[in-house]
Amino acid sequence: DTGVSQNPRHKITKRGQNVTFRCDPISEHNRLYWYRQTLGQGPEFLTYFQNEAQLEKSRLLSDRFSAERPKGSFSTLEIQRTEQGDSAMYLCASSLTRVQETQYFGPGTRLLVL
Amino acid sequence: AQKITQTQPGMFVQEKEAVTLDCTYDTSDPSYGLFWYKQPSSGEMIFLIYQGSYDQQNATEGRYSLNFQKARKSANLVISASQLGDSAMYFCAMREGPSNTGNQFYFGTGTSLTVIP
> Mean pLDDT per 10-residue run, chain B (117 residues)?
92 97 94 93 91 93 96 97 97 81 80 97
Q: Which residues of B touch A89 (CB under 8 A)?
A: 43
- For chain A, the average pLDDT equals 91
pLDDT of residue A99: 57
Interface test with B, best of A30, A49, A98, A102 (most B CBs within 10 A): A102
Instruction: Judge contact between A25 and A75, C-beta under 8 A.
Output: yes
Other Cβ atoms closer than 10 A to A20: 15
Q: For B81-100, how does the pLDDT look when each residue is reduced to its tens digit (9 = 90+)?
A: 999 999 999 999 998 876 65
Report in angstroms the alpha-carbon separations of B62 from A35, A93, B1, B30, B82.
Answer: 28, 24, 33, 28, 12
CB contact under 8 A, B91 and A42: yes
pLDDT bin (cut points 50, 70, 90) of residue A26 is very high
CB contact under 8 A, B105 and A50: no
pLDDT of residue A17: 97
Q: d(Cα A99, Cα B98) in Å, to the nearest integer?
A: 8
Instruction: Judge contact between A93 and A26, C-beta under 8 A.
Output: no
Q: For A32-53, how does the pLDDT look when each residue is reduced to its tens digit (9 = 90+)?
A: 999 999 988 899 999 989 889 8
pLDDT bin (cut points 50, 70, 90) of residue A103 is confident
Instruction: Judge contact between B49 and B64, C-beta under 8 A.
Output: yes
pLDDT of residue A61: 81
